[in-house]
Amino acid sequence: MNERIELVAPCGLDCGICELHICKDNPELFSQLISQGIPKDKLPCMGCRENEGKCPVMSETCDTYACVSQRELNFCFDCNEFPCIKLHPSLDRADVLPHNIKIYNLCKIKNTNIQEFVKVSNEIKLRYFRGKMIIGKGPQI
């Protein structure tokens, strides 16, 4: 995989558009993240795969990353137990964390391909956090 594609985590989150990664090109964001308690030595984050599931906001290895690695899979959708409880959406902090778009992202990757996904992942994130829900049409930008 090329570097940009390698930034898509096994769970479907795109580390390439995460603030912890893009702060490498934004000193103001870098400082803001440090002021929020992210250790300076963990920034910029180079992504889940590069960090072997050790996200700067977690104290231990991500269980989802460990599961995919143990099974020698590339993405969660490659597993015969997909979708599992680790990917279940939750209302808790849904307004600030992208955890509820994992299933959508994984389906998008599986049904198109990883190259097409990275082209639209920023729009997916934008729809999730800034879109206005129209019943029957989904979130509109």
Scored b (16 or more CB within 10 A) or e, 62-94 reads: bebbebbeeeeeebbbeeeebeeebbeeeeeee
Q: What is the value of pTM for the model shown?
A: 0.89
pLDDT value of residue 26: 95
Q: Give per-residue pLDDT as tens, 40-65.
A: 999 999 999 999 999 998 989 999 99
Is residue 3 predicted with pLDDT exceeding 90? no
Which one, of 122, 133, 55, 130, lies nearest residue 95 by Cα? Answer: 130
Is residue 25 predicted with pLDDT exceeding 90? yes
Q: What is the DSSP string of 98-113?
A: GGGGHHHHHHHHHHS-
Reduced to 3 states, what is the DSSP secondary structure of residue 18? Answer: coil
Domain with 115 in it: 3-140
Per DSSP, 79 falls in state: S
* pLDDT above 70 as % of the chain: 99
Is residue 1 predicted with pLDDT exceeding 70? no
Phi, psi of 97 (to 5 degrees): -115, 140
How many structural domains does the chain have? 1
83 falls in which pLDDT band (50, 70, 90)? very high
Q: How does the average pLDDT of the chain come out, rounded? A: 94
55: its two tokens:
């996200």
